[in-house]
Amino acid sequence: MLVDFTVENYRSIKEPVTLSAVAQKQSDRQTSQSSKHKRVKSDHEIAPGYHVEGWDIELLPVLAIFGANASGKSNVIQALDYLLLIIAYGTQQAVTFQKLLKYVKLDPFKLDSISEQKPTRFELRALFDNNIYTYSLVINKNNIISENLDYALNTTKRTRRLFHRQWDESNKKFIWKTGDDFAGAHNQLQDNIRENELFISTLVKLKVNIVESFLNQGKRI
């Protein structure tokens, strides 16, 4: 289940934009309802939230994005589609989808010269078995800058690293860090992952218990 998704420097999106499925808390809803402005329906009036055991949040089963025409609403959804696509199929295989889906390419914000040269950042948080997984990716047209996957148990709330890799430009290689929960033969593949390919898209093809549930759910978000 989606918790939230953040994208920065993608198409018409320059600054970080977050699509969140976390419902408003009761205090926030009361403040909104007591406003002198025209009352807007609270989250629970539109769709009851799903209580997440062990976490002080409720997740909404339905999301909607409102805004003026040409304000970038569809680009938020396209960014999420793009991320899920390259996770499932890899950055190279995703190129074959470009004939059908024009947004299936890395296209940074181009209205200023600085952003056009910067990488794009994605962050996806998803819930499975009441544990929250966080996958973050910083990428440009040439290679992966950083890739990270963590998870937090609902019992401890403590974030645990699964894997992290950071591109070292001076040495032209990745610096890897893996957590104790991520031990296994799959880590032997690290040196064989190309600089423009996701490690997580390789894990999709393998059965790695600690991430298998997250990857399977990612296909259904």
Q: pLDDT tens digits for 80-102?
A: 999 998 998 888 887 777 766 77
Res. 198 pLDDT band, cuts 50 70 90? very high
Neighbours of 130 (CB within 10 A): 12
Q: pLDDT tens digits for 109-160?
A: 988 889 989 999 999 999 988 899 999 999 998 899 999 999 999 999 999 9
Looking at residue 188, its pLDDT comes to: 92
Spatial CA neighbour of 187 closest among 178, 195, 200? 178
- Domains, the chain, in order of start with CATH, read 2-19+65-218 (3.40.50), 22-59 (no CATH)
